[in-house]
Amino acid sequence: MYNIPNLSIIGIIMEKNIKIAIVGGSGLTGSELVKILMGHNYAEIMFISSRKFKGMSIKEVYPGIESDLEYVGQIGPEELKEADVLFLCMPPHDSMRYLDENLAYCKGMIIDVGSDFRIGDPGEYQRWYGQEHAAPNILDRFVYGLPEINKSKIKGAKFIANPGCYPTSALLGLFPILDSGLAGADPLIIDSKSGVTGAGRKLGDPYLFINLNENFYAYNPVLHRHIGEMEQEVEKICGRRIDISFTPHLLPVARGIFTAIYMNGVDISKEDIKPLYEKYYSTSAFVRYNDRIPQIRDVAGTNNCLISAVYDARVKILKIFTAIDNLVKGAAGQAVQNMNIALGIDEGEGLRLQGINT
């Protein structure tokens, strides 16, 4: 168990003892994180930052969240010294700059919900994100926080890189097959559809209601930055590089990701698929196999990942389908799941969410 001052089993039961700081807490992921942590028995949000909403309370910005805690303009050395867990909910390139300046003051665990520490090689980071990494000296300290795959490494970790939403949806579907040695032929074809919250709160023509409503399209179909993260993790489990062709699409829905994966040249019987997945995720709190192809509606508002697969014997293609909520299992929920595992408390604490079924 990661040792936090004054944090004991007895203390945890008696009061909220995990002191939380959130940098960038007014975005969509940040607000989702607030909602989850407010339902967490052992966590208390002490500091939350937003340059835009400095001095305003959370419920003034998000009236549906009953919290009088005020946003501060920045979380600096004094706050960092008090925080047991620091969540970074920042755009690309911002988390690494923040830690480059403030790491010396961080006494507790750091969970980067952004993208700066997911790719472990600084050269690969520059390739996919278009600039040099600002804190390459601490890249190797971060554990890739996909709990169903890296739980043993996450336990007791101080630095955790939360996976991206698209990679989460793809890797959870792929790993049972890849780990069994059925890699198939290059390339892996991954086709994902995401709700508009995946783009954050930024304004732009593609995200205006008049352009998104009753519309559907692909974007960034070549060299999407999440490919680097996916290829890195696939190589770890396969022992060799496998090329990935990834195409994301934007759906006219608020939240959720539906991913379809096509694996060529895989030789597996349809009777073997379900047992393979069920065995692989037999101890998972949030991932399960479904006979029915999952739908976004099944997982919206939850930390679950539902998976189904079919084998097209005629063309020898395995088709894998997954569904997650991009804001929960794809971001804030997975971050809290990582925190729970690292601290040695119940993995599902604060995450037993019933979802949105209509």
β partners of residue 144? 161
Between residues 300 and 211, the one the model is more confident about? 300
Distance CA 161, CA 125 (A): 14
pLDDT for res 213: 87
Integer Cα distance of 6 and 21 in angstroms:
17
- Which residues share a beta bridge with 88? 23, 112
CA gap 232, 230 in Å, rounded: 5
Domains and CATH numbers, the chain: 9-141 (3.40.50.720), 166-326 (3.30.360.10)
Of the candidates 89, 106, 165, 305, the residue annotated as catalytic is: 165
The pLDDT value given to residue 2: 42
**The pTM is what?**
0.93
165 a catalytic residue: yes
Strand partners, 248: 192
Tokens of 216: 């559907």
Q: What pLDDT score was predicted for residue 211? A: 81
pLDDT at 323 > cutoff 90: yes
Position 266 scores a pLDDT of 85
Question: pLDDT over 90 for what percent of the chain?
Answer: 83
* pLDDT at residue 6 in the model: 43
Distance CA 205, CA 194 (A): 17
Question: Which structure tokens are listed for 122?
Answer: 């600084």
CB burial string 268-288: b at 16+ within 10 A, e below: beeeebeebbeebbeeebbbe
Average pLDDT over residues 255-267: 94
Which of the residue ranges 15-29, 194-208, 300-314 has the most confident prediction, judged by mean pLDDT? 300-314
Q: Which two tokens stand for residue 162?
A: 């939360």
Which token pair is 285? 């709190």
> pLDDT, tens digit, for every residue of 50-65?
999 999 999 999 999 9
Structure tokens at 186: 């290059």
Q: What is the mean pLDDT of residues 203-231?
A: 88
Q: Which residues contact 43 (CB under 8 A, 6 or more apart)?
A: 16, 18, 20, 37, 85, 336, 339, 350
Tens of pLDDT, residue by residue over 131-141, are: 999 999 999 99
pLDDT band of residue 203 (cuts 50, 70, 90) is low
pLDDT in tens, 283-299: 999 999 999 999 999 99
* Sign of the Cα pseudo-torsion (196, 89, 150, 288, in order): negative
